[in-house]
Structures are given as structure tokens and as C-alpha cells.
């Protein structure tokens, strides 16, 4: 029995410390937070797909002023995703200037904060890990 106890402690410890978020294969999940004073419509995040030759579009619907969406599971997303939406009848799109050097997001939950100015122009969105 004395020989089994150290073995049992070792096995349990290895199992506990090797169980990280990465090893659980948690997907990238992103929600949108509208920080502007305007409602935004047809909010979409565009991301790459490892399994498809085309980009994937994830629709978040409409968000009122200061409203936050639910999380949506994504495909491959870089550290600043492309986002599109309509505000006051005007279509806006934020596309990172260059995705070279941007890293893929690691699994977990993120919030993309969107703000528009008084003219309805998008300001630089901010992506934070929750």
C-alpha cells in the first residue's frame, strides 16, 4: 500500500497539471460590444477557414447602443479580425492593413469593442481577451 500511494499521487498530479485550456481544445469565441451611441446592423466578423478555401462570415445581427452580443464560435481568427456593419444606412468595414505578423488567436473568449464617431465612421476596434 505504501508503494501505491506515491504512484497514485504522481499520476493524479500529472493529470491535473497537464490539463490546460489549450489541451481541452476550447475554440475561439468572440462577442461584439457596441460602445457607440448608434445602433449597428448586420454586424459580421470575417475569418479564415483551415478547411475551406474561402473566408467564413459570422453574423451577429443588430446591436443597440452599448449592447453586447453573445459569444460566437469562430474558425481561424487573427489578432485583429475584419468586421463589417451598417450604421445609419452607411456600410462600414474595418480590415487590418496587413495581416503579416498577426498571430492566430489562441483558444478562449474575446470581446471585439466597436466604436463609431459622431459622423458614423468606425474608429479603431479593440479586441481583448476575456
- pLDDT 10s digit of each residue in the chain, 130 long? 555 555 445 544 545 444 444 445 678 999 999 999 889 999 999 876 555 556 788 999 999 999 999 999 987 787 778 889 998 888 988 887 665 667 788 999 999 999 888 776 777 788 899 9
Domain boundaries 24-129, corresponding CATH code? 2.60.40.2890
DSSP run (H or E) holding 7? helix 4-17
CA distance 28 to 104: 10
Q: Say what the pLDDT of residue 74 is.
A: 87
Q: Say what the pLDDT of residue 23 is.
A: 43
Whether pTM > 0.85 for this model: the answer is: no
Whether the CB-CB separation of 83 and 46 falls below 8 Å is answered with yes
Whether the CB-CB separation of 47 and 30 falls below 8 Å is answered with no
Angle at 43 between CA 37 and CA 44, to 5 degrees: 150
Amino acid at each position: 500500500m505504501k508503494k501505491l500511494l506515491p504512484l497514485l499521487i504522481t499520476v493524479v498530479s500529472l493529470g491535473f497539471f497537464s490539463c490546460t485550456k489549450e489541451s481541452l481544445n476550447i475554440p475561439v469565441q468572440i462577442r461584439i460590444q457596441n460602445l457607440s451611441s448608434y445602433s449597428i446592423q448586420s454586424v459580421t466578423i470575417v475569418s479564415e477557414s483551415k478547411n475551406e478555401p474561402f473566408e467564413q462570415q459570422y453574423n451577429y445581427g443588430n446591436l443597440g447602443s452599448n449592447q453586447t452580443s453573445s459569444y460566437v464560435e469562430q474558425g481561424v481568427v487573427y489578432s485583429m479580425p475584419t468586421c463589417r456593419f451598417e450604421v445609419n444606412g452607411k456600410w462600414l468595414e474595418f480590415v487590418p492593413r496587413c495581416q503579416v505578423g498577426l498571430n492566430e488567436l489562441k483558444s478562449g473568449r474575446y470581446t471585439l469593442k466597436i466604436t463609431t464617431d459622431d459622423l458614423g465612421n468606425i474608429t479603431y476596434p479593440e479586441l481583448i481577451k476575456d
